[in-house]
Amino acid sequence: MAFGGEVAHHLLERDLDFLVKAVADKRNDHEEVKKIICDKEDLIELMLDDHKLLSKLEEQQDEILLISPYLLFSVLLRHVRRELKGRTHTLELVGRERVAVFDVSRLNDLLDDSNIINYLAELLASFTRVERGFLVFRMGGKIKAIPFNALDLESLLFIAELLPKGECYPLYHRIGDLCLFTVGILPDHVRKEKTGRQAKEGLGLEEYTRLGIHYYKKAAQHPASKRFDEEGFLERVADNFQLLAKPLNILSEKYIGLKRSQWFAL
């Protein structure tokens, strides 16, 4: 299984409708165009890079409700990628100040890989709906139930300690994803958590970054990765964790902003 994978496999019928009408706006045979592009990954990639898609979403906000989260984030991430092409540096928070870091060339090389950009779109889309419930297990002859929330890092870490290691691959992977999502999309929330009244209990950005790298690597080294990650994709994500958080920071600050609580299951 290839992480990121092909965009075409993720797009819904209504996504293709939006894509074709927005990009092929001079044509009136939209159904025919859909038939042509539906399984043509190269053509879909070209269309997703068209600046008209972002303009359409900005002009007609109601369109956001009609397309899948995956397509929405695919469009926005590609716009961020185009924006980064014109930069000489990124900004990194050091203490309370932002400092310039000249790592744009490395970041652009990373984002030019469609598997990376598609993976980030998948990751963001997965947090628009979040599983909640209870994990029931036996301990010391007694049945116990603990709350489960896929957005609560501490509960996921606790569950990872309880489960047999052979069953932990998807959990390790999810913890890595949650850390990258948090550092990329919710950095202010994490900083407030760390500097607020309960600073001693809260996890800061450094902890989320460290745990994200650690659990992506644990997933990459898990025996199940031979089935799910033959090419070592998660190891690559771990090695570039801080770099990959940067386009998510830009996305969060410039294009999502106050809509975070509407777009994600926070």
Whether residue 121 is found in the same domain as residue 149: no
Closest of 22, 89, 34 to residue 243, by C-alpha: 89
Identify whether residues 138 and 121 lie together within a single domain: no
Provide the angle, in degrees to the nearest 10, between the axes of the packed helices 69-85 and 41-48: 70
Q: Cα–Cα distance between 2 and 40 in angstroms, integer?
A: 18
Same domain, 106 and 156: no
Q: 88 phi and psi, to 5 degrees?
A: -105, -15
Handedness of CA 220, 186, 245, 58 (dihedral sign): positive
* 1 assigned to some structural domain: no
Contact 169, 148 (CB under 8 A): no
pLDDT at residue number 91: 82
Query: Which residues are registered as beta bridge partners of 132?
Result: 149
Indicate if 140 and 60 belong to the same structural domain. no
Of the residues 126, 158, 192, which one is the last residue of a structural domain? 126
Note the pLDDT of residue 139.
Answer: 67
pLDDT at 195: 47
More confident residue, 191 or 225: 225
- Both 231 and 144 in one domain: the answer is yes
Are residue 74 and residue 139 in the same domain, yes or no? no
Shared domain check, 147 and 120: no
At residue 2, the pLDDT reads: 57
- Does the pLDDT at position 202 exceed 70? no
| Torsion angle in degrees (nearest 10) through CA of 220, 226, 231, 235 | 0
Residue where a domain stops, chosen among 126, 150, 184: 126
Q: Are residues 55 and 88 in the same domain?
A: yes
Q: Domain boundary at 73, 98, 126, which?
A: 126
- pLDDT (tens digit, 9 = 90+) per residue, 209-222? 999 999 999 999 99
Instruction: Let me know whether 80 and 149 are in one domain.
Output: no
Question: In this model, does residue 5 exceed pLDDT 80?
Answer: no
Task: Name the DSSP letter for residue 10.
Answer: T
Q: Would you state the pLDDT for residue 234?
A: 96
As a whole number of angstroms, the distance between CA 199 and CA 188 comes to 14
Is residue 92, in this structure, part of any structural domain at all?
A: yes
Helical (H) or strand (E) element with 184: helix 169-185
Domain span at 229: 132-263
Same-domain pairing of 252 and 143: yes
120 and 242 fall within a common domain: no
Concatenate the DSSP letters of all residues of 27-77 into one string. -S-HHHHHHHHTT-HHHHHHHHT-HHHHHHHHH-GGGGGTS-HHHHHHHHH
Distance CA 187, CA 256 (A): 13
Domains of the chain: total? 2
pLDDT digits (tens, 9 = 90+) for 120-163: 999 999 999 887 777 776 667 778 777 778 888 988 998 898 88
Q: What is the pLDDT of residues 55-93, one digit of tens each?
A: 998 888 888 888 999 999 999 999 999 999 989 888 887
pLDDT band at 196 (very low <50, low <70, confident <90, very high): very low
Per-residue pLDDT at 106? 95
